Copies of this chain bind each other. A is one copy, B any other.
């Protein structure tokens, strides 16, 4: 059985970096789970004694605490530093960037518009860096309900689609005299989707590795099923059904954004045996 990995799959740059940072800081704690994958969280605990704490208040002086890729709100970061905790910042650089932009632009007097979900931790963090009161919207209709000054700075949650970002930029450009557009979208999710789409056209079986409750993994399965009927979602090797590979020659593999490489590797090895 030939097994081919998608050109892009699994962890994005920021998550890979955060896990490496965690591995380099044995006995530290992450503030909230580092990624949405319990097996990876368990592995970090077992192999590196990296645990999870839920709130900044419980952090003690000199205690090492890892900030996850989404970043945290500025006042929480200030609290940690004032508590003299040992802050290990694994905020994704693609998230640090909109935080810095929002801080700088708000200080310069620009009205801040954030395209994103106001309940998402990343957006809460980015928003908190403004010295004024930013507007967080998911579409133009929401934007219309707000009063804005004539100088606006626009950023995006990293995982949003560029088409929707452009709709908001277009509305602002046609209604206000100066709009500073910072394209802070990260294409990792869409690169994984594009790679899965391309690969699923070339194979006779396709395996998507990831959590069954993960929306991004299910989106990958949907894309694969459009091109290859014999596509299946698995969480680990136990979910593999040998009947899927009978009389098949070439199996494609992709993985959700929270799937660690070691699980993917295990799947690749198992399928190669069929």
Which A positions have Cβ atoms within 8 angstroms of B? 162, 165-166, 169-170, 173-174, 176-184
Looking at chain A's contact residues, the main secondary structure is mixed
Question: A179–B181 contact, CB under 8 A?
Answer: yes
Q: Tell me which of B174, B176, B178, B183 contacts A173 (CB under 8 A).
A: B183
A174 to B177, CA, bound (A): 20
The 3 closest A-B pairs by CB, nearest first: A179-B181, A180-B180, A173-B181
Copies in the complex: 2
Q: A185's closest neighbor in chain B, by CB?
A: B174
With a cutoff of 8 Å between Cβ atoms, the chain B residues found around residue A166 in the complex are 170, 173-174
With a cutoff of 8 Å between Cβ atoms, the chain B residues found around residue A180 in the complex are 178-181
Q: Tell me which of B177, B182, B184 contacts A183 (CB under 8 A).
A: B177
In the complex, what's the smallest C-beta–C-beta distance from A48 to chain B, in angstroms?
Answer: 35
Question: B174–A179 contact, CB under 8 A?
Answer: no
Question: B178–A181 contact, CB under 8 A?
Answer: yes
With a cutoff of 8 Å between Cβ atoms, the chain B residues found around residue A170 in the complex are 166, 169-170
Q: A182's closest neighbor in chain B, by CB?
A: B178
A170 to B179, CA, bound (A): 13
With a cutoff of 8 Å between Cβ atoms, the chain B residues found around residue A176 in the complex are 183
In the complex, what's the smallest C-beta–C-beta distance from A59 to chain B, in angstroms?
Answer: 34
In the complex, what's the smallest C-beta–C-beta distance from A191 to chain B, in angstroms?
Answer: 15
Q: A152's closest neighbor in chain B, by CB?
A: B181
Q: A176's closest neighbor in chain B, by CB?
A: B183
26 A–B contact pairs at CB < 8 A?
Answer: A162-B174, A165-B173, A166-B170, A166-B173, A166-B174, A169-B169, A169-B170, A169-B173, A169-B181, A170-B170, A173-B181, A173-B183, A176-B183, A177-B182, A177-B183, A177-B184, A178-B180, A178-B181, A178-B182, A178-B183, A179-B180, A179-B181, A179-B183, A180-B180, A180-B181, A181-B181
Q: A101's closest neighbor in chain B, by CB?
A: B178
With a cutoff of 8 Å between Cβ atoms, the chain B residues found around residue A174 in the complex are 162, 166, 183
A173 to B179, CA, bound (A): 11
With a cutoff of 8 Å between Cβ atoms, the chain B residues found around residue A178 in the complex are 180-183
A173 to B182, CA, bound (A): 8
A179 to B169, CA, bound (A): 11
